[in-house]
Structure 1
Amino acid sequence: MTPGARVPPPDRDKARPSAGRIAWTALRVVCSVAALTALYFVLPLDHSSTAATVAMLLTGLAGFAALVAVQVRSILRSPRPAIRAAEALSTSVPFFLLLFAATYVALASLEPDSFGTPLSHTDGLYFTVTVFSTVGFGDITAKTETARLVVTVQMLADLIVLGLAVKIIVGAVHRRQQRREGPGDPRPRAEEQEDDEDR
């Protein structure tokens, strides 16, 4: 290379996602969140038992952890890690919120004094979001020890979601981008084609 020669800039068009790719990702997110929300409102949570409620919460938390693990793996293999990360957060957080909302509705049905007022599906979701956002209007509060214990679990899980899960997903994006900027991408060509077919 001669001293005055310019290094050609990287092909930015290949680095940027297409409008179709962004639209397809947004559609998948909307459909996933809509399906989760519809399922939440359809489930007969006011007829649940204590064992079913505990099992639902524990299974849901395990499922949430598994979902994050699968999404991190997908981010690390994707040629578009930022889009995958946005999709991961956009589906994981609603799943997490709806899980606790369902638990609160079921708990309020089992123990009517748990929150001082019966909780509808909308009330449960509203209360979950106020706890998650740390707004705490005080119109719905946990009254019994069991309810306060579940709310405490959510608050601790909120810290994990906002801290650890987001950090893991963002870290996966950075690692994937560093791999792409390094000398060659070890990922097989077939995987790139498979990812492109998701558009």
Structure 2
Amino acid sequence: MRKKVESRQMDTRQRRRLIAGAILRPVLTVVALGCAYFLLPWTDAHTVSAFALLVAGGVAVLGVAAWQIKRILNSDVPALQAVEAASVVVPTYLLIVSMTYFAVAGADPTSFTEPLSRMGALYFSLSVFSTVGFGDIAAKTDLARALVSLQIVCNLVLIGFGVRFVIAAVSWSKEHRTRQTKPGDPSE
């Protein structure tokens, strides 16, 4: 079991190592996921596999989010862990949505106003997530429109509830850690 160190008691070297890890882990995760997204061969798709991919991806995102919340609750520096969590969960979510759009476009090239490459699918999912919606790519079929609508709802849930859960986890972790360090606390 690692020794917990209060952030106020850390020396500069420990803080730098902690921050470097909090930056390096998400960057490496996103690079690995991005490489998998762009390099793995998964071009054959149909509607059923697109929905299976979306469901499996949703479960994966929920799993990653739950794991990150647990890490926040157990962290010595929960705010830093929360930033790391967001840096992993959001790109994972967006890549899974992009994979779904790419699979749908591969199964039915008329699903969108233009054929989607992997980069085009990522671009489209990012523009929907950010609500920019340039209009250069749009959903044309009912299936594609349903998926875009589902992404919009999931975006709201991810942003609304996700932020709420992360803030609550950071607050709980800080409060719990403060109670543990107070001498003479009746809960000990």
User: Counterpart of 2:185?
Assistant: none
1:12 aligns with 2:13: no
Extract structure 1 runs of 4+ deviating beyond 2 A: 10-17, 43-46
User: Displacement, 1:43?
Assistant: 2.9
User: Among 103, 107, 125, which residue is 2:104 paired with?
Assistant: 107
User: Counterpart of 2:3?
Assistant: none
Select the structure of larger CA radius of gyration.
1
User: Counterpart of 1:64?
Assistant: 61
Any conservation in 2 of the 1:97–1:128 contact (CA below 8 Å)? Answer: yes
Q: TM-score, length-normalised on structure 1?
A: 0.83
Q: How many residues align?
A: 176
The structure-2 alpha-carbon separation of the partners of 1:126 and 1:184, relative to structure 1 and needing over 3 Å to count, comes to same
User: Displacement, 1:21?
Assistant: 1.1
User: Counterpart of 2:43?
Assistant: 46
The structure-2 alpha-carbon separation of the partners of 1:43 and 1:51, relative to structure 1 and needing over 3 Å to count, comes to farther
Any conservation in 1 of the 2:54–2:100 contact (CA below 8 Å)? Answer: yes
Separation in 2, partners of 1:22, 1:165:
22
User: Among 161, 172, 180, which residue is 2:158 paired with?
Assistant: 161
Separation in 2, partners of 1:109, 1:84:
37
User: Displacement, 1:183?
Assistant: 4.6
Stretches of structure 1 that go unaligned for 5 or more consecutive residues are 1-9, 186-199
User: Among 129, 139, 148, which residue is 2:145 paired with?
Assistant: 148
User: Counterpart of 1:190?
Assistant: none
Q: TM-score, length-normalised on structure 2?
A: 0.87
User: Displacement, 1:40?
Assistant: 0.7
Separation in 2, partners of 1:117, 1:85:
37
SS at 1:159 equivalent: helix
Q: 1:75-94 residue pairs with structure 2 within 5 A?
A: 75-94=72-91
- Once the two structures are overlaid, the 10-residue window that deviates more, 37-46 or 27-36, is 37-46
Separation in 2, partners of 1:61, 1:11:
34
Any conservation in 1 of the 2:46–2:106 contact (CA below 8 Å)? Answer: no
Any conservation in 1 of the 2:98–2:122 contact (CA below 8 Å)? Answer: yes
Any conservation in 1 of the 2:7–2:76 contact (CA below 8 Å)? Answer: no
User: Displacement, 1:11?
Assistant: 7.9
